[in-house]
Chain A
Amino acid sequence: MIKAILVFNNHGKPRLSKFYQYFNEDMQQQIIKETFQLVSKRDDNVCNFLEGGSLIGGSDYKLIYRHYATLYFVFCVDSSESELGILDLIQVFVETLDKCFENVCELDLIFHADAVHHILSELVMGGMVLQTNMSDILARIEEQNKLQKQEAGISAAPARAVSAVKSMNLPQQIKDIKLPDLPQAIKDLKF
């Protein structure tokens, strides 16, 4: 069973938090903070497994994580999951994100947290792995997005237009434009 899936950036800012066991909001924030502290002090060339997450679970649980550019993807799992299997799953998750957002970067996760949740829910359900085949996952996501677009139809058009106008007015938009050298751009931004 997977107990929690956390995504946060190099500064510990949460980008996605999914707990499959109930914790109240304060506790969740504390878990994210402590997990970040545990994970962030580790070099990149050490192993991807981490024990001693005393906060979540206990001895049966371990943290399995991957670090991509500015983001940490951390899965907290119990002993019924295969360590290397979960590492592969993280890879599938990130690749799926990459396909859905076309070259995913941290900003995609920031502005589309809901979409990321929907993608994740096609991989993992209630702490159990649902699907590991990426083409199946992408097909499901595609179908649901189509459904959503159909529903939006004409009625949502004005809202979208206004939204676009609103976006144009904001100077911030310029900052958020994807630049060729994205990792650098992200580094310059302070989160």
Chain B
Amino acid sequence: MALKMVKGNLERMFDKNLTDLVRGIRNNKDNEAKYIAQCIEEIKQELRQDNVSVKSNAVAKLTYLQMCGYDISWAGFNIIEVMSSNRFTCKRIGYLAASQCFHPDSELLMLTTNMIRKDLSSTNQYDAGVALSGLSCFISTDLSRDLANDIMTLMSSTKPYLRMKAVLMMYKVFLRYPEALRPAFPKLKEKLEDPDPSVQSAAVNVICELARKNPKNYLSLAPIFFKLMTTSTNNWMLIKIIKLFASLTAIEPALGKKLTHPLIELISSTSAMSLLYECINTVIAVLISISSGMPNHSASIQLCVQKLRILIEDSDQNLKYLGLLAMSKILKTHPKSVQTHKDLILACLDDKDESIRLRALDLLYGMVSKKNLMEIVRRLLGHMERAEGSSYRDELLYKVIEICSQGSYQYVTNFEWYLTVLVELILLESGSRHGRLIAGQLLDVAIRVQAVRTFAVNEMATLLETYPVTAAPNGTMQEVLYAAAWIVGEFAPHLDGPERTLAVLLQPKPVAGHIQAVYVQNALKLFAHLVGEAVRQRDGAAIERHCQMLAEGLRSYLSSADIEVQERASSVYFLVVLLRESLGGGADQQHAAAPVTDGGLLELTPDVPGEPGDGGGEKARVAPDEPVAIGSSGGHYPGAAWDEIEQIATDLQGLFGSELNPVAPKAQRKVQLPEELDLDEWINQPPPSADASSADGGSSDEDKFPLFLTDGGRGGGGGERETNGGGDGSRSYKRIEYTQEELDKMRQARLLEQTNNPNYLKPAKTKKASGGDYHQQQQQQQHDCYDDIPIAEIALEVPLQIHSTKRSDKYLMDAERATRVFVGKSGGRKEKGDKSGKKSKRRGKKSKRYSDESDSESDDPKPLHVVNTVIELPEGAILSDTEDKNNADPNDPHRALDIDLDAPFEDDYPQEMKRKAANQRSVMLLRDGDGQTAKTNRNPADEHQSGGTTTTTADSKHRSRRRGTAAATDRSDEQQQQQQMDGGGAGREKQKKKKKSAGKERPDEADAIMLMIDEETPAKGRTTKEKEKRSKPPKDGVAADEAVEDGDVKEKKKKHSKKSSKHHHHHHHSSSSKKSGYEEMPAQSLGGVSKDAI
């Protein structure tokens, strides 16, 4: 044996160890990959040997390679082998490797359960310690469930080192297995008062993490934390406690008053900056929570802000950063007090440190008002020009938009200014990632602020013309062209030079396909507008000119590689052809032009990729789309050509006629389901099973499962299409044929429903030939109060180049001039207003609303334009944010940990049972224990008879039952075996235990028994307590009751004494439990008792 070992060692000598590996890699710098591949081969060899030392050496090397970026999960099994070694050295290497490469989803983990359990109960505390450290990195749900009891046992180990680690470990267990929180909580609470400060610190740490997400469940611990805060000297723990108080005080302002004094004491006594800073932070939180109710506290907030200013002005950059961070907390509730320090924060924007600049930017967001928005944005724009680093500039851009758009643009008074800023941003930062955001803003403003629409449209026309399209590698700024094109097309009547803009849209530009598609679509809108205008003026030549222009311009789009662009272009193209033909048919002189167009078409078709074939084929394809085209292709027109053209023009405009209203983002979701609609019902009878269709192999998927069954129905009187598949007679769909009368009736009904349906975008009731008039009417209908909004003069001559001084500055200067004038003028008026004007204002007319507002908001500038806040929503629905909060991050494990820990324990027992029945797989070991005790609890007579031993038998019963259920779940065979073995062990333990309990003596060293008792601690502690309580009521209760239940009471008292002796024993074992833990319970357990008594 010894010889073998020596031999093994001799062989091992010549293996590379970790140092050799590292050195080798450094020596083979040029062919590192090759060298490492060679090393991995060697490692594989070593892993095949039996000697654990060789294996652990190999695993140690693998751990190093893992850091270098090599996947070592293939060696998972070997790592487990090394972990299971008896030698601490190897175990340590194994657990380190495991912590680096295993993760909760590793399948190998299920092999480790019993090994880890063994390590946790090792007599060497460092074996258990290493196991806990490793486990904390890769614990899975299964491991949490299986090992929760073992870790809980370690929480009351005699060794502080293990207690500390076990307490921290429990947090990881809670995250993966929330059911463990409830039973483990009393013990965790107990650890807050552990004699060892490290264990205390660990417990504080765990509770702080738990309370961070669900603070309200931990409010009851405040007294304990308060005591710790005033007595402890461990700075780390104090910081944690103080941070915890900051989150607790937010939900319980009364706590704040108690906290202020000790906090201030700490602030004056501590020398640690970290602690000092957290104290200040919590004081701020306290002040905020107090002052949110009463305005008088703003003075103390002011004081805090002053102190923070000192921090921010400090030369230490860390303090400056933290000062700004704390300031942002105040900003949320007291923006006014922070706003006075605007100078300081703007100065921080010029700091060389990016972290500080970003913090300052965050603060700016909350500091803007109607008055200072323009100035702040101007400074940001100036800053952006100078700033280095595209990501930071991008961040700035984002902030500018965020600042302006917050609260539905509540601080933007002049939207012409805002649009100008947006355009400046576009030109300033062509490589930005926020193109989509800017595009969204452009669309939003153009749609929602009607007053500024004309300005917006012309600005966009200029942008389309001048925007230099360059292929930015990863920028998305091109997206603004999407928005610009849409705005120009949709609001064409506002355009100054629509023809010119149409030409711009038709110029081929190297932009992305989806933008080109919008170009084409909006060229059509523009065209429709132009034709409409021309028709009204009876200008045939103009129509022809527009047609010519569009047809010419579409050429490049027709040959686009993007299918969407191509399709839209060809649709538009044939629409134009149609129009020209009808035009040609009307005016005799222009007959000559028609063949040319046809020729153009013939010429064009070969250009269209993916659509081979001659012109005739092309026409045939078009025919079904445009039924009129068939009639017109012959050129036989009845004389009234103008009528025809006019008809086409109005139809064209009708396509884009109705106003688009903004729709609330969640509108679709909020549409309520009509009562008569059953979404689960078949609309059409389901087709016969698939085997029928297997007969015809040739038919396509669409034939088999027609997606749009209603298509046929929409054909109106077309009864000729009986079957959908055409050739295959295997299936025929029943088609109801409507007579014309029925159709009319249905149409009437539908129209009626549409008028009553608020979700339906109704067409205008009075349709006029002019699109512009129509738009205006629409506006007037919706916003009757529109007249009183001053409409600024439109800048007709939009400069093509950016000036050295920004265009947006003009608005700022205007505004400043205006306020100066305003102040000068209103000086007298204001005084009057203050004294006597209030009453008169109150009964002021509606039209005075704006001046009212501006006065109340301490002479904020008047908004020039109003944002349309009317957004479409289904009837009865309201916009709310609550949904968002509810489904915020469904993966957060803390959601499951939101458990009311103060509620009586048994209350959720039936629920648990239900859940268990529903989900047999997630066996709740810990809760099982409670269940058992709860049952015994409900059967007091039985318990009384069997006395002190009841719990122990129940214990073992519960144990074996659990084994059964655990085995029932589909685990590996190995594990099952192990489980059974354990079961045997449990049996033995049970016997031992019976003996011991008979002897009424439980020596401390009986670890196994301790394990069992501790398992029961949380539940039992409570139940015994309750029994004590239950025996009490007769004492303080009604005398009559006492008389009746006299005998009963005696019995109960007996039981009580027994119980309490057991209780005592129990305490004896868990070394650190204190009486004070029980003294806090009465209120809760009383609640439990009264329920039980009923």
Contacts and interface: CB of A to CB of B under 8 A. Distances in A.
Tell me whether A and B are bound partners.
yes
A84 B318 contact: yes
B353 A118 contact: no
Contacts of B206: 128
A82 to B, nearest CB: 5
B67 A113 contact: yes
A25 B69 contact: yes
B198 A131 contact: yes
Contacts, number: 181
Contact of A147 (B88, B168, B212, B358): B88
B235 to A, nearest CB: 8
Interface stretch (B132-140, B598-606, B856-864, B1036-1044): B132-140
B205 A128 contact: yes
Interface string A26-65: 1011000000000000110111111110000000000000
Contact of A144 (B27, B126, B322, B358): B126
A159 B9 contact: yes
Nearest to A161: B13
Given A85-B274, A117-B96, A162-B14, A49 B321 contact: yes
A47 B273 contact: no
Nearest first, the 7 A-B pairs at minimum CB distance are A126-B136, A84-B274, A22-B103, A47-B317, A46-B353, A162-B13, A29-B69
A84 B273 contact: yes
B358 A158 contact: no
Contacts of B100: 18
A121 interface: yes
A148 interface: yes
A22 B205 CA distance: 22
Given A1-B209, A87-B274, A113 B64 contact: yes
A103 interface: no
B168 A47 contact: no
Interface string A114-128: 100110010001111
Interface stretch (A69-77, A93-101, A149-157, A177-185): A149-157
Contacts of A130: 164-165, 168, 198, 202
Contacts of A29: 69
7 contacts: A14-B68, A16-B67, A49-B355, A125-B168, A126-B172, A130-B168, A190-B29
B188 to A, nearest CB: 14
Interface of A: 1, 14, 16-18, 20, 22, 24-26, 28-29, 42-43, 45-52, 80, 82-85, 87-88, 110-111, 113-114, 117-118, 121, 125-133, 136, 140, 143-144, 147-148, 151-152, 155-156, 158-159, 162-163, 166-167, 170, 172, 176, 190-191
A55 to B, nearest CB: 13
Interface residues of B, number: 83
Given A47-B317, A128-B168, A172-B23, A25 B66 contact: yes
A111 B22 contact: yes
Contact of A47 (B137, B139, B321): B321
A172 B320 contact: no
Contact of A155 (B5, B96, B161, B212): B5
A47 B356 contact: yes
B830 interface: no
Contact of A25 (B71, B124, B353): B71
Contacts of A25: 66, 69-71
B87 A158 contact: no
B18 A125 contact: no
A49 to B, nearest CB: 5
Nearest to B103: A22
B60 interface: yes
Contact of B20 (A114, A126, A166): A166
Given A1-B209, A152-B89, 19 more contacts: A20-B137, A24-B71, A25-B71, A52-B391, A83-B321, A83-B325, A110-B22, A113-B18, A118-B96, A128-B136, A128-B171, A129-B205, A132-B236, A136-B198, A147-B126, A148-B89, A151-B88, A151-B89, A163-B13
Interface of B: 5-6, 9-10, 12-14, 17-20, 22-23, 26-27, 29, 60, 63-64, 66-71, 87-89, 92-93, 96, 100, 103-105, 124, 126, 130, 132-133, 136-139, 161, 164-165, 168-169, 171-172, 198, 201-202, 205-206, 208-209, 212, 234-236, 239, 243, 272-274, 277-278, 317-318, 320-322, 325, 352-356, 358, 391, 395
A82 B645 CA distance: 75
A3 B278 CA distance: 21
Contacts of B278: 82, 84-85
A125 to B, nearest CB: 5
A85 B236 contact: yes
Contacts of B67: 14, 16-17, 113
Contacts of B165: 125, 130
Contacts of B138: 22
A163 B17 contact: yes
Contacts of B14: 162
Nearest to B395: A52
Given A25-B70, A47-B355, A83 B322 contact: yes
Contacts of B391: 52
Contact of A121 (B133, B272, B352): B133
Contacts of B171: 126, 128
A167 B352 CA distance: 48
B318 A47 contact: yes
A176 B22 CA distance: 12
Contact of A80 (B29, B168, B202, B208): B208
